[in-house]
Amino acid sequence: MLRFLLRRLLVALPTLFLVVTLAFFMMRAAPGGPFETNRKLPPEVEQNLKAKYGLDRPLGVQYLGYLANVARGDLGPSLKYPDRSVLDIIRQGFPTSLRLGVSALTLGGVLGLCFGVFGALRQNSPADYAITTLAVLGVCIPTFVTGPLLVLVFASWLGWLPTGGLDDVRGYVLPVVVLALPQVAIISRLTRAGMVEAMASNHVRTARARGLPERSVVLNHALRGAVLPLVSYLGPAAAGLITGSLVVERLFTLPGLGKAFVVSALQRDYTVVMGVVILYASLVIGLNLLAEVIQSLLDPRVKLS
């Protein structure tokens, strides 16, 4: 196990390096720049700005300098928010996105698992069809539709919840539900498929033949195998969720990282984009690794190699 982890971490470094390199040059290849707006700056002003952030040096030098800084854990200053470093921006946006993402993932996971197991056990019953239909709807209807609909009903009509902002815990309810809905759908579909397969498998038949109670058969024997595909889905899905969603953050005016990321890409705030890319890539790598470890713990057939 330890050897496996060490080896994967060693592989992760070149992967990260590649991501950073690609992102750096793609960002610079995009037309425009951080100081270009509809106002053309006088050359001396633009020169002052570029000199301040080292953007007047050759691209290769900037790249090497950036790599050296990142290796030291310094993601640089934001080009658009002169008072803030990239770390400041991540530190301020990430907790909100993390809270929202983890809550949505938990809600989606619990509901999705329940629905999935229920559907698989009552295969082709009306309840199963109802859950399947809901799941298909949940996947198909995008958050920018469900979000305003829920706001309309629960905030504008019923007045139970605020339409936006995070002034207290009630502010979290709608964004979390909107983020969780597609997860409920996908997770219930994955669980149902896995459960149907597992219930027909030899080890479940053996368990039943040994006369184990149905509850133990389902929870201890079938479910363990059934959640394997779910675990490999959840790794990258979690990375996406906890780094924030532009749509939900805009819709509910939340101070998360998703909005910061897209806005900085549009404004060509190179350093902020790079910082978020590095964070996201590290999370994807880390969570995928975690998913593999969990899989090996759940299923003895999965070997870490």
Partner 1 sequence: MRPLLAAFAALGLSALILAGCKPERPLRASCPAHSLCLEAGNVSEPVSLDPPKTTGTWEDRIMGDTTIGLTQSSAAGRPVPGMATSWDVSPDGLVWTFHLRKALWSDGVPVTANDFVFSLRRLMDPRTASEYAYLLYFIRNAEAVNEGKAPLSALGVAALDDHTLQLTLTHPVPYLPEIGKHQTFYPTPQHVVERWGDAWSRPEHYVSNGPFKLARWAFGDHITVVKNPLFYDARSVCLDQIDYYPTSDAIAAERRVRRGELDTNADIQSNRIAFLRQPDQIPAYVHTHTYLGVAYLAFNSRDVAAFRDRRVRLALDMAIDRDFITRKLLRGGQVPAYTFTPPAVANYQPPPPPVWAGWPIERRQAAARALLAQAGYGPGHPLKIEIKHRNSPDPTLFMPAVQADWKAIGVTATLAQEEVQIAYQDYRLRNFQVGDAAWIADFNDAMSFLGLQQSQTGAQNYGDYDNPTYDALLAKADNEPDLGKRAAYLAKAEAIMLADAPVAPVYFYITKNLVNPNVTGFVDNAVDQHRARYLCFKGHGAAAPSGE
The smaller minimum CB distance to partner 1, of residues 135 and 285, is found at 135
- Residues 267-286 close enough to bind partner 1 by CB under 8 A: 267-268
Report yes or no: 50 and 56 within 8 Å, Cβ to Cβ: yes
Alpha helices in the chain (DSSP H): 2-29, 43-53, 59-71, 86-121, 126-140, 143-150, 170-199, 202-209, 214-216, 223-226, 228-242, 246-251, 257-267, 270-298
- Residue 26 within binding range of partner 1, rule CB under 8 A: no
Number of residues that bind partner 1 (CB under 8 A): 62
The smaller minimum CB distance to partner 1, of residues 20 and 268, is found at 268
x/- string (CB under 8 A) for partner 1, residues 108-147? --xx-xxx-xx--x--------------------------
Cα 128 to Cα 118: distance, rounded to the nearest angstrom: 7
- Residue 41 within binding range of partner 1, rule CB under 8 A: yes
The smaller minimum CB distance to partner 1, of residues 11 and 266, is found at 266
- Residue 7 within binding range of partner 1, rule CB under 8 A: no
- Residue 221 within binding range of partner 1, rule CB under 8 A: no
Report yes or no: 197 and 228 within 8 Å, Cβ to Cβ: no
- Residue 200 within binding range of partner 1, rule CB under 8 A: no
- Residue 251 within binding range of partner 1, rule CB under 8 A: yes
**φ, ψ at 157 (rounded to 5°):** -85, -55
Report yes or no: 176 and 99 within 8 Å, Cβ to Cβ: no
- Residue 161 within binding range of partner 1, rule CB under 8 A: yes
- Residue 170 within binding range of partner 1, rule CB under 8 A: yes
Instruction: Please state the closest distance from residue 204 (CB atom) to partner 1, in A.
Output: 17
Q: Among the candidate windows 161-169, 199-207, 229-237, 293-301, which touches partner 1 by CB under 8 A?
A: 161-169
